[in-house]
């Protein structure tokens, strides 16, 4: 080939950055590059298998779908070849010269958000092809695309800043990656070393892998075997392979159904929720197979969105083999499969919650947010998922939780509603004014700590025909409480104090009235309805001002010393009494999470302190 045929390209800056990290600091286990290249080869073969269904014109159509590895100790090279879809010139530039694919992109984003501190999590991102440069002096990719009448190419790079592409004589379809090993890594040119690595990382690849012409893997569909023949270690190995994980799964569910559909499924729930670490949205992780043949490794829309954290395999013999990814979503069969699997998985979680509550609590801490998403967005499974939600409550110990069903079982006969309070934490709810009215009537209250919880509750609206009600709602209907201790203001005094307070506080308050709920606190602020306070909190979370004017009901406790003293003081020193009235109102607004701007409150506080100090 003449030198004119060689094109020289610079890597994009992002690739340079990635290469730099991969080569210098990322993995202590360099050997994972073998897994990465085999997994690319397997993907390329998988894609070819799909093309065979729809395309009649395929280059070298008779080639076996297999992976060939060869080692050459003398030359110090390792070669991994597949007869997959291969790459055209443009695809070489696009796929090996820029970060166009999801894995590496997410990886870089994770690094930017400070993820490097957690090496374990980073390991969950395959950086794929570029990992070869950890051990290589030079990498060559010889390739021929599956498209007929396209030229073959050779892509070459030392992984520093540039790569070259050269047109070559026609080669076999697919990609052949030749790694010239750096001096320190010559062990990867040894057949025994490679054999061991393949066994460790790639034993579940669904294509034959040959090493120096000898087949070294058994294509095994673990999920089709019967449960009692499978060892725990085999499951774990499969999970690591399938989910690209480094640890054991938190839960494993292996089951089969014959009717109405023939389904085998092996589902894993991971230990960590990577979305919580800011690693971006998880892709669907349950692959769909038909009699061992992979139909889609990440089927969008097969399982509900909120189950995207689940990993594993579904295999149904009832699926037509030629089903394409596009038609999958409209296929009635896949919807049925989805329903069977989802129901079964939810049932499994319910059983686990009862059998092993502590393990379930750990699961819920990590993945509860997905269940909540399900309740809020998926009407089909709302009631089933709601049974799996757990919260702390006024009757649980700190750190212990209760299900809604257990709450209902403890409800008093005449109680019609399920109460909840949203707060920062247990302490702030227990010291706030909203709990006491319910507690004094012996009513249990759920403690919600995350803003999404409130959204979930209002979406759920009912559980076992009991309405879910927020305790900071103004229109709570409560039975009469046992009369609290202490002398109250007379009804006339209280009424006139309320009117005076309304005038003193001004427009910020809609109505002031005597409370039937307060026991120990002097006052509380309430929203006229649950919706408006929830909306406001959500907007605030999103960093926006609420478009609605704040409508606040202000309730006073006529037995509280502060209220009684205030009533006397407005006759003797009305100016100071007014300041105190406004301050009390602001305190209540803080407790309700409704105070927008504390500036005025602080200035006023100083005025009050000044007057108190001169006395």
Residues that bind ligand ADP (CB under 6 A): 40-41, 44, 82, 84-87, 95-96, 101, 103-104, 126, 128-130, 175
- In the bound complex, what is the minimum distance in angstroms from residue 110's beta carbon to ligand ADP? 14
CA 120-126-131 angle, to 5 degrees, is 105
Nearer to ligand ADP, 86 or 299 (CB): 86
Give the orientation angle of helix 561-572 with respect to helix 574-591, to 10 degrees. 150
- In the bound complex, what is the minimum distance in angstroms from residue 99's beta carbon to ligand ADP? 8
Nearer to ligand ADP, 172 or 339 (CB): 172
In 476-542 the beta strands, taken as DSSP E runs, fall at 511-514, 523-526
| 297: DSSP letter | S
Nearer to ligand ADP, 103 or 301 (CB): 103
- In the bound complex, what is the minimum distance in angstroms from residue 104's beta carbon to ligand ADP? 6
Specify which residues 179 forms β-bridges with.
78, 139
**Nearest-angstrom CA–CA distance, 371 and 381:** 10
How would DSSP label each residue in 223-240?
GGS-GGG--HHHHHHHHH
Q: Please list, in sequence order, all residues whose beta carbon lies within 8 angstroms of the beta carbon of residue 232, skipping any fewer than 6 positions away.
A: none
Nearer to ligand ADP, 111 or 595 (CB): 111
Q: Which two tokens stand for residue 375?
A: 């309740």
**Nearest-angstrom CA–CA distance, 470 and 356:** 30
- In the bound complex, what is the minimum distance in angstroms from residue 175's beta carbon to ligand ADP? 4
- In the bound complex, what is the minimum distance in angstroms from residue 90's beta carbon to ligand ADP? 12
Residue holding tokens 């870089």? 108
Nearer to ligand ADP, 165 or 468 (CB): 165
Nearer to ligand ADP, 126 or 368 (CB): 126
Nearer to ligand ADP, 164 or 464 (CB): 164
Nearer to ligand ADP, 83 or 188 (CB): 83
Nearer to ligand ADP, 103 or 357 (CB): 103
| Closest alpha carbon to 408 in 391, 426, 425 | 391
**Nearest-angstrom CA–CA distance, 306 and 347:** 16
Give the orientation angle of helix 102-112 with respect to helix 13-21, to 10 degrees. 70
| Closest alpha carbon to 284 in 263, 320, 311, 259 | 311
* Contact criterion met (CB below 8 Å) for 107 and 127: yes
- In the bound complex, what is the minimum distance in angstroms from residue 384's beta carbon to ligand ADP? 35
Kindly report the three-state secondary structure assignment for every residue of 138-155.
EEEEEEECCCCCCCEEEE
Phi then psi for residue 307, to 5 deg, are: -100, 20
- In the bound complex, what is the minimum distance in angstroms from residue 431's beta carbon to ligand ADP? 51
- In the bound complex, what is the minimum distance in angstroms from residue 550's beta carbon to ligand ADP? 50
User: Quick one: which H or E segment has residue 572?
Assistant: helix 561-572
* Contact criterion met (CB below 8 Å) for 401 and 392: yes
**Nearest-angstrom CA–CA distance, 161 and 20:** 10
**Nearest-angstrom CA–CA distance, 342 and 302:** 10
Q: Please list, in sequence order, all residues whose beta carbon lies within 8 angstroms of the beta carbon of residue 182, skipping any fewer than 6 positions away.
A: 135, 136, 137
A 10 A CB-CB count for 120 gives: 10
A 10 A CB-CB count for 571 gives: 8
* Contact criterion met (CB below 8 Å) for 508 and 552: yes
- In the bound complex, what is the minimum distance in angstroms from residue 86's beta carbon to ligand ADP? 6
Nearer to ligand ADP, 96 or 340 (CB): 96
- In the bound complex, what is the minimum distance in angstroms from residue 527's beta carbon to ligand ADP? 49
- In the bound complex, what is the minimum distance in angstroms from residue 211's beta carbon to ligand ADP? 17
- In the bound complex, what is the minimum distance in angstroms from residue 174's beta carbon to ligand ADP? 7
In 377-516 the beta strands, taken as DSSP E runs, fall at 390-393, 402-403, 417-422, 445-448, 462-463, 466-470, 511-514
- In the bound complex, what is the minimum distance in angstroms from residue 39's beta carbon to ligand ADP? 7
Nearer to ligand ADP, 126 or 299 (CB): 126
Residue nearest to ligand ADP (CB): 128
Nearer to ligand ADP, 44 or 386 (CB): 44
- In the bound complex, what is the minimum distance in angstroms from residue 82's beta carbon to ligand ADP? 5
Cis peptide before 23 (omega within 30 of 0): no
Q: Which two tokens stand for residue 21?
A: 């990290």
Nearer to ligand ADP, 90 or 214 (CB): 90
Helix, strand, or coil (residue 476): coil
Nearer to ligand ADP, 81 or 217 (CB): 81
* Contact criterion met (CB below 8 Å) for 108 and 6: no
């Amino acid at each position: 080939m003449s030198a004119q045929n060689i094109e020289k390209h610079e890597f994009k800056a992002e690739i340079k950055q990635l290469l730099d990290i991969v080569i210098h600091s990322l993995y202590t286990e360099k050997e994972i590059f073998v897994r990465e290249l085999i997994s690319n080869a397997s993907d390329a073969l998988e894609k070819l298998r799909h093309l065979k269904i729809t395309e009649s014109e395929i280059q070298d159509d008779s080639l076996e779908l297999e992976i060939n590895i060869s080692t050459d100790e003398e030359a110090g090279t390792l070669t991994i070849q597949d007869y997959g879809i291969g790459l055209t010139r443009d695809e070489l530039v696009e796929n090996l010269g820029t970060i166009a694919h999801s894995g590496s992109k997410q990886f870089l984003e994770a690094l930017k958000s400070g993820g490097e501190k957690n090496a374990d999590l980073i390991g969950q991102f395959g950086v794929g092809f570029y990992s070869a440069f950890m051990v290589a002096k030079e990498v060559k990719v010889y390739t021929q695309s599956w498209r007929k009448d396209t030229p073959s190419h050779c892509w070459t790079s030392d992984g520093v800043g540039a790569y070259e592409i050269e047109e070559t004589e026609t080669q076999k379809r697919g990609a052949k990656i030749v790694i010239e090993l750096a001096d320190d890594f010559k062990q990867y040119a040894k057949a025994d070393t490679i054999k061991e690595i393949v066994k460790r990382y790639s034993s579940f690849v669904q294509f034959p892998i040959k090493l120096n012409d000898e087949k070294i893997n058994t294509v095994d569909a673990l999920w089709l075997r019967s449960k009692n023949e499978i060892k725990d270690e085999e499951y774990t190995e499969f999970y690591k392979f399938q989910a690209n994980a480094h640890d054991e799964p938190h839960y494993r569910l292996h089951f089969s159904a014959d009717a109405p559909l023939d389904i085998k499924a092996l589902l894993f729930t991971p230990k960590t929720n990577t979305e919580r670490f800011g690693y971006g949205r998880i892709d669907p992780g349950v692959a769909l197979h038909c009699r061992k043949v992979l139909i889609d490794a990440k089927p969008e829309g097969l399982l509900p969105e909120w189950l995207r954290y689940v990993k594993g395999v579904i295999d149904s013999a009832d699926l037509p083999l030629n089903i394409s990814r596009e038609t999958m979503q409209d296929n009635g069969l896949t919807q049925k499969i989805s329903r069977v699997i989802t129901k079964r998985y939810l049932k499994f979680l319910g059983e686990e919650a009862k059998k092993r509550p502590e393990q379930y609590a750990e699961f819920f801490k990590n993945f509860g947010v997905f269940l909540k998403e399900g309740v809020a967005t998926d009407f089909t499974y709302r009631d089933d998922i709601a049974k799996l939600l757990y919260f702390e409550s006024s009757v649980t110990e700190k750190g212990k939780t209760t299900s809604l069903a257990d709450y209902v079982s403890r409800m008093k006969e005449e109680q019609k509603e399920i109460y909840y309070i949203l707060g920062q934490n247990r302490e702030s709810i227990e010291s706030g004014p909203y709990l006491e009215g319910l507690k004094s009537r012996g009513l249990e209250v759920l403690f919600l700590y995350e803003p999404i919880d409130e959204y979930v509750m209002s979406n759920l609206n009912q559980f076992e025909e009991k309405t879910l009600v927020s305790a900071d709602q103004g229109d709570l209907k409560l039975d009469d409480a046992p009369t609290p201790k202490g002398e109250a203001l007379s009804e006339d005094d209280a009424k006139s104090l309320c009117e005076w307070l309304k005038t003193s506080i001004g427009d910020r308050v809609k109505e002031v009235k005597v409370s039937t709920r307060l026991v120990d606190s002097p006052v509380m602020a309430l929203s006229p309805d649950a919706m408006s306070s929830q909306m406001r909190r959500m907007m605030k979370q999103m960093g926006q001002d609420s478009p609605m004017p704040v409508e606040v009901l202000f309730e006073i406790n006529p037995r509280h010393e502060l209220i009684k003293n205030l009533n006397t003081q407005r006759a003797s020193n009305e100016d100071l009494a007014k300041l105190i009235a406004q301050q009390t109102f602001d305190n209540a607004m803080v407790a309700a999470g409704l105070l927008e701007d504390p500036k005025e409150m602080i200035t006023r506080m100083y005025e009050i302190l000044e007057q108190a100090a001169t006395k």
